[in-house]
Structure 1
Amino acid sequence: MSSIRAVLFDLDDTLWPIVPVIQRAEKLLYAWLKLHAAPVTERVTIESMRERRQQLMASDPVYQRDLRILRRTVLLEAFADAGLDTRLVDEAMEVFSKARNEVTPFADVLPALENLRSRVMLGSVSNGVADLDAIGIAHYFQASVAAHRIGCAKPDAAIFHAACDALGVAPAETLYVGDDPLLDVEGAQKAGLRAAWINRVEIGQDRVLPSHVTPDAVFGNLHQLEQWLKDNDPLTR
């Protein structure tokens, strides 16, 4: 078995909890709409916009690959229905995007990334739209691949291979770490990577793996990942 030269991370719910972040961002956006585009809030709610996004995702794969386009499309529809200038949508998106990147990493994340980057190359692969520069952790990663930038999303093997290519490593030399058994673990393994499932009990994950999914490792936090690398790969000690 090849030694591990690189570790790739999922972002949302792997490095930080995402549900409270999105909920807060949507509330801030809706408050902005009430102040600057009140007729929109007379026609839609946070819940109805969420339902519309789900409909669009089910109707066209492009919305699964680019969550920014998805959210912007729903806002454009709402502004048009209210008879408002759709140029305000860009301002609304800025409000949401700023709040969406105000995340708080789990306590283990920054210490683990600091330790790991001296042992292996680090990268990220995400279907989301997190801005690592805005969050302040871009310097830990030598490659960051996002679905909306390359036109394919997990579990497509191409997105994993894009990250490996960016780091100059073979899939077999790469460990992928993520919280979703299908998108992250199964997807990475089918792409030829090794895959670790992170199951963070502190955010209520504590899930059961599907019977057909067998991760190469299971962690509750990134400190356990550090120890696993030390125990299983001499090159990362």
Structure 2
Amino acid sequence: MQAAGIEHFFEAVVVSEAIGFAKPSPEIFHYALSSLNLTPAEVLYVGDSLKHDYAGATQVKIDFCYYNRKNQNLPQEAKPKFIISGLLNLLRLFN
């Protein structure tokens, strides 16, 4: 996020290793929601792993934005709300 110059857009970044829960376990997502006092409907989770990020976010009903930096084909069952190829593309989602 620092390299892309977007870190100032985030109030918090939760790292699984730092809190003791591994994705896709829903606990990390519940931890983030609780620490920010947000509901799943108020959040967009951005991640680059369908196996860990998408699976975890969808378990707790958080909308998911797939950071597809390698432009990989998605399995048919994967249905992220948004797909971006660069982090700066997040700005287009909110403007």
Interval of TM-score (by shorter of Structure 1 and Structure 2): 0.7 to 0.9
Normalised to the residue count of structure 1, the TM-score between the two structures is 0.37
For structure 2, list consecutive stretches of 5 or more residues without a partner in the other structure: none
Q: Residue by residue, what CA displacement relative to the aligned partner does 1:185-231 show, whole Å, maximum 9, x if unpaired?
A: 2321221211000111xxxx22111221100000011222111122x
Q: CA RMSD in A?
A: 1.8
Match of 1:160 among 20, 26, 29: 29
Aligned partner letter, 1:113: E
Q: Residue by residue, what CA displacement relative to the aligned partner does 1:35-87 show, whole Å, maximum 9, x if unpaired?
A: xxxxxxxxxxxxxxxxxxxxxxxxxxxxxxxxxxxxxxxxxxxxxxxxxxxxx
2:76 maps to: 211
Question: Are the aligned partners of 1:219 and 1:225 in contact in 2 as well (CA < 8 Å)?
Answer: yes
When you count helix as a share of all residues, which structure comes out higher? Answer: 1
Question: Are the aligned partners of 1:185 and 1:195 in contact in 2 as well (CA < 8 Å)?
Answer: yes
Aligned partner letter, 2:84: F
1:199 maps to: 68
2:89 maps to: 224
User: Percent same amino acid at aligned positions?
Assistant: 32
1:175 maps to: 44
**Distance (Å, rounded) in 1 between the aligned partners of 2:28 and 2:45:** 12
**Structure 1 stretches of at least 4 aligned residues deviating more than 2 Å after TM superposition:** 142-151
2:23 match: secondary structure: coil
CA distance 1:150–1:206, shift in 2 (3 Å): same
CA distance 1:216–1:210, shift in 2 (3 Å): same
Q: Map 1:140-159 to 2 at 5 A.
A: 142-159=11-28
Is structure 2 residue 7 aligned with structure 1 residue 113? yes
1:218 match: secondary structure: strand
